[in-house]
Structure 1
C-alpha cells in the first residue's frame, strides 16, 4: 500500500457477499429481539431460536459487515497475555472459568459447523503468543504456566513456524481459524429455518424497557419483545454508562496470496512492535498458495496517520514474507474493557429483560460464541457457571479497573477540550481526497474535498457525546477519538455508538 492508496476492503466480505435481506417495515412481536448481526448477535439468536424462542435480528447495515466482517478470524482461547493477569486479579478460579468458557464455546461452534455442513474453511491450528525480546521471556513463561493451570493445552516453546527466530512463545494446540462470513451467513439461514427473522438495513433508535420491551426503528416500525439483546459491539443504548469502561482501538490489516511453502503453519500474535498478528487461509484451487493476513499498528480512532501506519505494516509483511503479493487492506475496531474481561449479561443494574455483549478486547470470535451461550442461558433460565465472571454489573472489579478507567477518562477529557483548541486549516487549502476540521463563524465544521474538487461540510461534533471528530485519510472517514464512532464523508454513521448522522452544513 502506498501513501495515496485507499483501503481495498475486507477479503471476507468480498469472498462471501451473501444475499440481501429485507428491512423491517411493519410492527413485530417476538420473544427476543437481538440488535446487531455480528458474531455475538447471530450466535445468540441461533441458540435462542433452537431453544424454541421466536427471535428477530435487527441490523442497521448488512450481516456481519461491521467489526465481525473485518476481523482476523482467529478462534482461540489464547488471548495474547491474559491468563497470568487473570490469575492475579481474579484468582485461579477466574482464570479457569475464562479458559473453560472460551474453549467450550469453540467446541460448541465446531459441532454446529459439522451439523450444518458449513464450508467455512474451518481449520485446526496451534495458536502462539510470541516475543523476540529476550527480556520478556519470563513474562511468556508465566503466561504459559497460568494458561496451563487454567486448563488449556499450553506450553512454553522457543521454536515456531515463523520465518524469523523468537525468544519464546506460548503455544496452545488445537485452536481454530475460519472464514467468518461463510459461517455467519449459514447461521443466519439456520435462524430463519427455525422460525426466526433477520432484517438488514433496520436501524434501531430507541429502547423502552419493561414487560414487554419496545424498540423503535428509523422506518417507524416498532418491535415488541419480552427480552432485548444489545449486540452492537459498542452499545447503542448505554444506561449503565459502559462507554466509561470501554476504550476503542482501531487496527490495520494487510493481506494477499503467499506461496504455500512460506505458510508459517499456525496463528501468531505478539504485543511487540505495536502488535503483529499473522495467520493464513485457504486460497485458490491448486494448493500452491495460501492467503496471508497480517494485523497490527493499533491506534485510537481519530488519531494517528493511518496511511503511514498502513505503509509500516505492509513493509513488515513484505520483509518477513518476501513471496507475498499484498492485494487487500482494511481496518478493524475493537473495544478494550478497563478490567480485561468482556461485559456480557444484564445491560444495567436494574435491567430485567435487557442484555448486552461488548468489550471483547480484540477476541470477538471466541468471545461472541461464548456470549451466545451465556445470554441464551440467562434468558431461558438455565445455569451458566461463568455468568458472574462476565457480568457487566460486577462491582468487585472497581478497584482493579481504577488505573485503566482513570487513564481512559483522562484521554477522553483531553480530546474533548484539547481538540477544540487546535489550530484549524482553511478549507480552501484542502487537496482532493483530504479532510480537516475547520473554524467558521458558525463553529467547527468537518470539511472534506472529494476527488472532483467539491467540498462537503458537516458538523464536527460527534452525535454521541459531542467530542470533535478527526479525518482518517486512508479510509476517508470521520472518526471520534473519545468513543470510536465513525462517519462517512457526508456524515452518515458507519460505526457506533452514535446512531445519528453528523448534520450537513453549508460553508
Structure 2
C-alpha cells in the first residue's frame, strides 16, 4: 500500500562537523597493552573487531592459548560503524542464492544466520550483558511499484525455504512504500556494549589482547606461521586467524581481485515521535535503512542509513549525508541530528563471505572477510567456523563459506566487471587534469591539487596548517580521491583509505601515503 503523506517540519537541522558514532559515544571498551615482547601461543588472531573477539572468546573458553593483536584500538573499525541489525534478512538475497547456489545452500545460509542470533542471545543471557537487545521483525520494502516484483520473488523464496514471514501490503512504519517482505523474530542490539563485555572473559580464560600492535606480514618458513609486527616483534602460533576486515596477508593476490569495498552512511536522528518497532530496508535505490535506538540521555534515536557506493567512487561524500538528512526531515519529526558516521564493507563475488583456509596448502592460516554489510550475524558464523577449524571439529557451514568455493555464475561475470572497473580507475587517475593549487584549499577543506606539475593531495586544517601527500595508493598505484565527509583519501580500486596526513585507515594498503614538503 502506498503512503505519501509527509511528516514533520523542514527547518534545517545541522549535521555534526565531523563523523561521530553513537555506538562509540555510548560504550566503554577496556584498554589493552601494546605488545612488548616475542610470544609463542596456540592461536594468533589479527583484528580486534567483533569477528576477532568472538573467535578469541570461543577458543579461550575451549582452553586454547590465544593472542589477539589489534593495529589500533579494540572495536574502533567496522563494528563501531554498523547499524547493528541482528538478522538473517540480508536484503533480497534468498531468491538470488537459490538461483546461483541452489536451494540447499540458500537454506543453510538462513539457518546459519538464525543460529548466530540465538548464539548472541545465549551469550547475553549467560553474562547478563546490558546491550539494548530487543526482538524485532524486519522488513524490506519497495519504494517504487517496479520493485514489488522483486519482493514477490523473495517471498516465494521464503516459502520454499520455510522462512517465517513473507509478502505483506503494509508495514508498521509510516514511510512511502508499495508492499514489503517481512521476516519474523529478528533482533537489534548495541554491538560495542555486547562485544566489550566479552573481553574480560577472554582475559580470565588466559587469553592475551594487545592494542596499537600492527602486524605487517606472516613468515611461513619455520615450523609454524609467525606474525611479524611493525616493531619487529614475533608471534609464533599453530594457527593464525586473519580477522582484519580486508585480509592484510594476500601473498598471491587471491583476495583483492575477489573483493570490492563499499561505503554507506548513517545519521543518528533524535525524535520524540512514537516509533512502531521493526527494522526496515528499502529494496531499491537509493537505499534507506531505518531502526531505533536509545539516545545517551534516554530519549529516542532513529538510525537512518543508506546511500552506498564503491569506496573512492562517489560524489562529494557530504552529499550522501545531506540526502539522508533530507529524507529524515521529509518523513520524521526531527529534533536534532547529533550523530553521523559511515562504514566500509567488503563484498565477495557471490554474496557469501569467505571464511576458512586462505588456500588449501596453508591450512594453518585462516581468514574471515566479505560480510557485505551483514557482519553482525556473519561475524558469529565466521567465529564458529574458524574456532571449529582450529579445534579440528566439523562445522555444518564450513563448505558454504569456504574461500575455495567457485560458482561459474556469478563469480566469472562479477570478476570481469570488477577488474574492468579497477583498470578504468587506475587509468583515469593518471590522466586527470588538475587545475587547482594548494593555495585554493581553504581551512577545513581538502582536494587534489598540482604541486610542481604533479598530482598531490592537500588538506588544510581549521587552524590553517597545510598537509600535502602523494595521492598514489601504496597498494597497487591507483590514485586516491578526497573524501570530504570523512576527511580521508580513499582508493577507488581496492578500497584502501588514508587519513588526511597519509596514515593507513583501511587496507589492503600497509604503507602510508608519501608526505610532500612544499617548497
Pairwise TM-score range, normalised by the shorter structure: over 0.9
Aligned: 1:136 with 2:141? no
Give the direction of change, closer, same or farther, for the CA distance of 1:444–1:165 in structure 2 (3 Å limit): closer
Q: Secondary structure at the match of 2:301?
A: strand
> Which segments of 5 or more consecutive residues in structure 1 lack a partner in the other structure?
none
**CA offset at residue 19 of structure 1?**
2.9
Q: Deviations over 1:22-61 (max 9, x none)?
A: 1111111111111001111111111111111111111011
How do residues 331-410 of structure 1 correspond to structure 2 at under 5 angstroms? 331-395=342-406, 397-410=407-420
Q: Secondary structure at the match of 1:241?
A: coil
Identify the residue that residue 243 of structure 2 maps to in structure 1: 231
Q: Deviations over 1:274-299 (max 9, x none)?
A: 2110000123676xx32210111112
Identify the residue that residue 52 of structure 2 maps to in structure 1: 41
- C-alpha separation in 2, matches of 1:122 and 1:80: 21
Identify the residue that residue 245 of structure 1 maps to in structure 2: 258
Q: Secondary structure at the match of 1:336?
A: strand
TM-score, structure 1 as length reference: 0.96
- C-alpha separation in 1, matches of 2:510 and 2:142: 40
Is contact 2:272-2:333 (8 Å) kept?
A: no
2:306 corresponds to which of 296, 318, 322: 296
Is contact 1:34-1:56 (8 Å) kept?
A: yes
2:230 corresponds to which of 218, 222, 227: 218
- C-alpha separation in 2, matches of 1:368 and 1:86: 19
Identify the residue that residue 174 of structure 2 maps to in structure 1: 163
Aligned: 1:10 with 2:29? no
> Which segments of 5 or more consecutive residues in structure 2 lack a partner in the other structure?
1-11
1:466 corresponds to which of 477, 492, 500: 477
Identify the residue that residue 267 of structure 2 maps to in structure 1: 254
How do residues 34-433 of structure 1 correspond to structure 2 at under 5 angstroms? 34-209=45-220, 211-239=223-251, 240-259=253-272, 261=274, 263-283=275-295, 289-303=299-313, 304-395=315-406, 397-424=407-434, 425-433=436-444
Is contact 1:32-1:53 (8 Å) kept?
A: yes
TM-score, structure 2 as length reference: 0.93
- C-alpha separation in 1, matches of 2:200 and 2:41: 18
Q: C-alpha root-mean-square deviation of aligned residues, in Å? A: 1.7
Is contact 1:2-1:311 (8 Å) kept?
A: no
Is contact 2:21-2:339 (8 Å) kept?
A: yes
Is contact 1:3-1:311 (8 Å) kept?
A: no
Is contact 2:215-2:227 (8 Å) kept?
A: yes
**CA offset at residue 165 of structure 1?**
4.1
Identify the residue that residue 6 of structure 2 maps to in structure 1: none
Q: Secondary structure at the match of 1:88?
A: helix
**CA offset at residue 319 of structure 1?**
1.1
**CA offset at residue 453 of structure 1?**
2.3
Q: Deviations over 1:290-341 (max 9, x none)?
A: 2210111112222321111111111101211124421111111111111111
- C-alpha separation in 1, matches of 2:14 and 2:513: 28
Q: Secondary structure at the match of 2:336?
A: coil
**CA offset at residue 2 of structure 1?**
7.5
Runs of 4+ aligned structure 1 residues displaced above 6 Å come to: 1-4
Is contact 2:246-2:346 (8 Å) kept?
A: yes
Q: Deviations over 1:335-354 (max 9, x none)?
A: 11111111111112321100
386-395 vs 234-243, which moves further: 234-243
Q: Secondary structure at the match of 2:268?
A: strand
Identify the residue that residue 515 of structure 2 maps to in structure 1: 504
Identify the residue that residue 8 of structure 2 maps to in structure 1: none
Is contact 1:73-1:179 (8 Å) kept?
A: yes
Q: Secondary structure at the match of 1:344?
A: strand
How do residues 437-456 of structure 1 correspond to structure 2 at under 5 angstroms? 437-441=448-452, 443-456=454-467
- C-alpha separation in 2, matches of 1:284 and 1:253: 17
Is contact 2:38-2:234 (8 Å) kept?
A: yes
What is the number of residues matched between the two proteins? 503
- C-alpha separation in 2, matches of 1:366 and 1:324: 32
Q: Secondary structure at the match of 1:281?
A: strand
- C-alpha separation in 2, matches of 1:166 and 1:438: 44
- C-alpha separation in 2, matches of 1:437 and 1:464: 19
Give the direction of change, closer, same or farther, for the CA distance of 1:355–1:434 in structure 2 (3 Å limit): same
Aligned: 1:488 with 2:495? no
- C-alpha separation in 1, matches of 2:457 and 2:23: 31
Give the direction of change, closer, same or farther, for the CA distance of 1:362–1:195 in structure 2 (3 Å limit): same
- C-alpha separation in 2, matches of 1:52 and 1:436: 51
- C-alpha separation in 2, matches of 1:103 and 1:404: 28
